[in-house]
C-alpha cells in the first residue's frame, strides 16, 4: 500500500480556457496508505478526471502525482502498479475463478505454492472459496466485481485500488451486501482505495474518508461523521445526508446573537458581526418535537409526512420556512397540526454566505 499525493494538480481538456473553466481546478490532496477514500459529487464535478489522473490515463495540465513521494506524473498506467475496478466487471471469461485470481501472480512469477495460498486466502475473504473451480463467466455480476477487486488484493505490492462506480450494474437488492463486503475486505487487506461514486450514501458506507467535489473543486474532505456533523458549506450539508440538512435564514442582533421569526435562537457558537447573510443549519435527525416551551423551541405547523424506511420525515413550517424532522416511525405523527419544535443548541450550526463560520 502506498500514499498518493496530488500536488497542485489541475486539468483542462480545452487548451487556453481560463482556470475557472478547468475540469479540475488546481488542488492539493493526500490519500494516506491503507485507507479507503470515496470521491463523491454530481455528474461532471471532476471525479473521473481525478481518478484518471491517478491511474495515468490522463496527464494533468499542471502539477505532480506522487506515489510514496516518487513522481509518477509522466508514467503510463502499466508502470504505476495499480489495480482498477470499473463499472462493468472485467474478468477473463474463459478462466475459472481460481485462474482469474492466480493470473496476476503468475505474471509476477510467483511459485505455485505461494500462489495457491494467496488465492485461497483472498477467495475466502471474498466468500468465493466454494466456487474456485467454476468458470468465472457463470458468476453473477456482484461476484464478478468481487473477482475484479480480488485480482487487485492478491498482489501484495499493489500501490492502490481505483474503483470507478463499481456498483453501477449491480441489482439494487445486492448493492447493500456488496457495499458491506467491500468495506469488510478493504478493512482486512488495507490497500489504498480510491472509490468514485455519485451516490453519497454509497460513499459514506464504503469509505473511511470522503471527498465531496463540485465544479472541479474539492469542497470538503473528512470522515463520514465529520461530513454529517459539521458540513463546511451549505453545499455539503445539502449533498450529504438524507433528507438534506435544513438551513434557516436568521436575523443577526447585537453582540452576535440571532433570532428566528423574532424569537431568540441560541446557536452552537457565536456569529461575528462582520459576516454576510447568516443561516443556521440543523440535521433533520436533530430536530425534536416537544410538548413544553423551553430554550430554542419554536411554534411549528405540519405541512407533510413521508415514510423513509424505519424513519418518518415530517415537513414542518417554522417562522415561515420549511424544514424536515426525521423521527422514528413508532413515534407517530403529532396529534395536532400545530406543535412545538426544539432546535438543540449544540446541533444548530452557524453559516454565512454558504460557509460554516469557524468556531473561534
- The mark string for 182-221 relative to ligand ATP (x by CB under 6 A, - otherwise) is ----------------x-----------------------
Which of 331, 330, 299 is CA-nearest to residue 316? Answer: 299
Residue 13 engages ligand ATP in binding (rule: CB under 6 A): yes
Number of C-beta neighbours around residue 91 at 10 A: 22
Region of 36-44, 105-113, 230-238, 320-328 interacting with ligand ATP (CB under 6 A): 36-44
The alpha-helical segments, DSSP class H, found in 211-356 are 224-229, 234-239
Judge contact between 11 and 70, C-beta under 8 A. no
Contact residues for 189 (Cβ-Cβ < 8 A; gap 6+): 122, 125, 153
User: Residue from 31, 36, 38, 47 that binds ligand ATP (CB under 6 A)?
Assistant: 47
User: Residue from 32, 35, 48, 132 that binds ligand ATP (CB under 6 A)?
Assistant: 48
Peptide bond into 203 cis (omega under 30): no
Q: Which is nearer to ligand ATP, 45 or 314 (CB)?
A: 45
> Could you tell me the sign of the dihedral formed by the alpha carbons of 39, 43, 46, 52, in that order?
positive
Region of 46-54, 106-114, 261-269, 317-325 interacting with ligand ATP (CB under 6 A): 46-54
Residue 244 engages ligand ATP in binding (rule: CB under 6 A): no
For strands 349-352 and 278-282, give the pairing. antiparallel
Distance, in Å, from the CA atom of 82 to the CA atom of 100, rounded to the nearest integer, reads: 17
- Give the three-class secondary structure for 23: coil
Region of 41-49, 133-141, 256-264, 267-275 interacting with ligand ATP (CB under 6 A): 41-49
Distance, in Å, from the CA atom of 289 to the CA atom of 64, rounded to the nearest integer, reads: 52
Distance, in Å, from the CA atom of 169 to the CA atom of 161, rounded to the nearest integer, reads: 19
Region of 40-48, 169-177, 318-326, 343-351 interacting with ligand ATP (CB under 6 A): 40-48
Distance, in Å, from the CA atom of 192 to the CA atom of 155, rounded to the nearest integer, reads: 13
User: Residue from 46, 60, 243, 334 that binds ligand ATP (CB under 6 A)?
Assistant: 46
Q: Which is nearer to ligand ATP, 43 or 274 (CB)?
A: 43
Residue 45 Cβ, how far from ligand ATP at the closest point, in Å? Answer: 4
Total residues found in the chain within this entry: 360
User: Residue from 6, 45, 139, 227 that binds ligand ATP (CB under 6 A)?
Assistant: 45
Provide the grid cell at 156. Answer: 501484495
Residue 214 Cβ, how far from ligand ATP at the closest point, in Å? Answer: 10
Residue 63 Cβ, how far from ligand ATP at the closest point, in Å? Answer: 16
Residue 14 Cβ, how far from ligand ATP at the closest point, in Å? Answer: 7
Q: Which is nearer to ligand ATP, 4 or 287 (CB)?
A: 4
> Could you tell me the sign of the dihedral formed by the alpha carbons of 288, 292, 295, 300, in that order?
positive
Residue 155 engages ligand ATP in binding (rule: CB under 6 A): no
Region of 43-51, 258-266, 319-327, 332-340 interacting with ligand ATP (CB under 6 A): 43-51
Positions in the binding site for ligand ATP (CB under 6 A): 13, 23, 41, 43-49, 198
Amino acid at each position: 500500500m502506498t500514499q498518493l499525493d496530488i500536488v497542485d494538480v489541475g486539468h483542462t481538456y480545452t487548451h487556453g480556457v481560463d482556470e475557472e473553466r478547468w475540469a479540475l481546478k488546481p488542488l492539493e490532496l493526500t490519500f494516506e496508505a491503507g485507507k479507503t477514500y470515496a470521491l463523491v459529487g454530481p455528474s461532471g464535478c471532476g471525479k473521473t478526471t481525478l481518478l484518471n489522473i491517478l491511474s495515468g490515463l490522463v496527464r494533468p495540465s499542471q502539477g505532480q502525482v506522487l506515489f510514496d513521494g516518487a513522481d509518477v506524473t509522466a508514467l503510463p498506467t502499466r508502470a504505476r502498479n495499480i489495480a482498477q475496478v470499473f463499472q462493468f466487471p472485467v474478468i477473463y471469461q474463459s478462466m475459472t475463478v481460481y485462474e482469474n485470481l492466480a493470473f496476476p501472480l503468475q505474471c509476477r512469477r510467483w511459485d505455485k505454492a505461494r500462489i495457491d495460498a494467496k488465492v485461497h486466502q483472498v477467495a475466502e475473504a471474498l466468500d468465493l472459496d466454494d466456487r474456485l473451480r467454476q468458470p468465472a463467466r457463470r458468476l453473477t455480476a456482484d461476484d464478478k466485481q468481487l473477482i475484479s477487486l480480488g485480482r487487485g488484493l492478491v498482489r501484495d505490492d499493489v500501490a492502490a485500488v481505483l474503483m470507478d462506480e463499481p456498483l453501477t450494474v449491480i441489482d439494487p437488492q445486492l448493492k447493500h451486501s456488496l457495499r458491506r463486503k467491500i468495506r469488510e475486505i478493504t478493512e482486512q487487506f488495507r490497500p489504498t482505495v480510491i472509490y468514485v461514486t455519485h451516490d453519497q450514501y454509497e460513499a459514506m458506507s464504503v469509505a473511511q474518508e470522503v471527498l465531496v467535489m463540485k465544479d472541479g473543486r474539492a469542497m470538503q474532505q473528512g470522515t463520514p461523521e465529520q461530513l454529517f456533523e459539521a458540513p463546511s458549506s451549505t453545499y455539503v450539508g445539502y449533498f450529504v445526508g438524507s433528507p438534506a440538512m435544513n438551513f434557516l435564514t436568521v436575523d443577526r442582533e447585537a453582540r452576535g446573537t440571532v433570532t428566528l421569526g423574532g424569537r431568540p435562537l441560541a446557536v452552537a457558537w457565536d456569529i461575528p458581526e462582520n459576516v454576510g447573510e447568516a443561516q443556521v443549519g440543523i440535521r433533520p435527525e436533530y430536530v425534536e418535537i416537544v410538548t413544553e416551551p423551553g430554550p430554542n423551541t419554536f411554534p411549528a405547523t405540519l405541512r407533510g409526512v413521508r415514510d423513509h424506511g424505519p424513519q418518518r420525515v415530517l415537513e414542518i413550517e417554522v417562522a415561515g420556512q420549511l424544514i424536515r424532522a426525521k423521527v422514528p416511525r413508532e413515534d407517530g405523527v403529532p396529534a395536532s397540526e400545530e406543535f412545538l419544535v426544539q432546535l438543540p443548541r449544540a446541533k444548530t450550526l452557524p453559516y454565512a454566505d454558504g460557509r460554516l463560520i469557524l468556531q473561534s
